[in-house]
Amino acid sequence: MKYSLKKNKFGFIQVKPTPSVQALDKFYKKNFYSINYKNFNNSELKEQIKDKKFYNYKWKRIFDNFKFLKKDLGNKKVLDIGCGWGQCLLYLKKNGFDCYGLDPSDKAIKYCKNKGLKAEISNLEKLDIFGNIKFDFIIMNNVLEHLRDPVSIIKKVKFFLKKKGILFIEVPNDFNLFQLSGKTVNKIKKNWWVSPPAHLNYFSHDTLDFFLRKSGFKILKKDSSFPFEMFLLFGDNYVSNKILGKECHKKRVNFEQNLLRNKNEKILNLFYEKMAEINLGRTAIVYAKIK
């Protein structure tokens, strides 16, 4: 199927025509968690385990910000929409959270249940799988870009989030300056980050902020992640060379881990926060609450 890109009233870009619910369900259940998927994005469990230190910094960052924004964390309920293999939930569970997760992948959910998590198979648009439980925290880690209708889902999220609850969202920061400049410098013809039916929506820090504010949320904190496209500006064309991409990832991991080992976590965190201020970084991250 041929797709086009169209900017909506919230400013973020959407794929048109929108794939059917049935087509997306089939895609995620059969393809997305397979290492053979052409746009595979390291969702496979063994990849996360292999990069455990890299991911643990991410999970710790989420936990620390939850703790900072909501002082009392005793027995707090958290829902991870699109929980995958439950690695974030397992980290939060060790820190006292009451953890719930939903995901389209039956293999991932089976794994989560075997680890003692409250997890159920569900597409990313059906949020009442646990009834009408209200949550203190809701996580949407690389989820919004996959949804057919992010606007309606955010309305549902508001229903399941407690009045003083915290919403965490992370999405790819696409069409950013480093990305576009890297494409030009390396004479790459296609926008490689545009990948329907996996990604149907394309955000930036600014458009994610605007979308959430217009949807009735107050932004508490903005964050980002390593500006991976910077490697393209160094001359490392990982788009055309997948082996080079793996080497670039190792350098990113080394960058973070060397700072952490030298007790510079605060500086690393601040670096990513400043990236968010200028609309850079590989991902756009927000922590928000209902107005």
Range of the domain at 109: 16-174+196-227+281-290
The answer for residues whose C-beta is within 8 angstroms of residue 217's C-beta and 6 or more apart is 154, 158, 167, 288, 289, 290, 291
Q: Is 269 among the domain residues? A: no
Identify which has the larger pLDDT, 60 or 23. 60
Q: Is 143 among the domain residues? A: yes
pLDDT for the residue numbered 238: 97
Q: Is 276 among the domain residues? A: no
Task: Identify which of 139, 99, 136, 137 has the alpha carbon closest to the alpha carbon of residue 119.
Answer: 99
Question: 17-21, 263-267, 287-291: which has the minimum mean pLDDT?
Answer: 17-21
pLDDT in tens, 57-108: 999 999 999 999 987 777 799 999 999 999 999 999 999 999 999 998 888 9
For the chain, the straight-line distance linking the first and the last C-alpha, in angstroms and rounded, comes to: 40
Q: Is 54 among the domain residues? A: yes
> At CA 222, angle to CA 144 and CA 287, rounded to 5?
60
pLDDT for the residue numbered 31: 62
Residue type, 278: I
Provide the whole-model pTM.
0.93
The answer for residues whose C-beta is within 8 angstroms of residue 175's C-beta and 6 or more apart is 13, 191, 202, 204
Residue type, 113: K
Q: Is 86 among the domain residues? A: yes
Q: Is 232 among the domain residues? A: no
pLDDT in tens, 227-251: 999 999 999 999 999 999 999 999 9
CATH number of 83's domain: 3.40.50.150
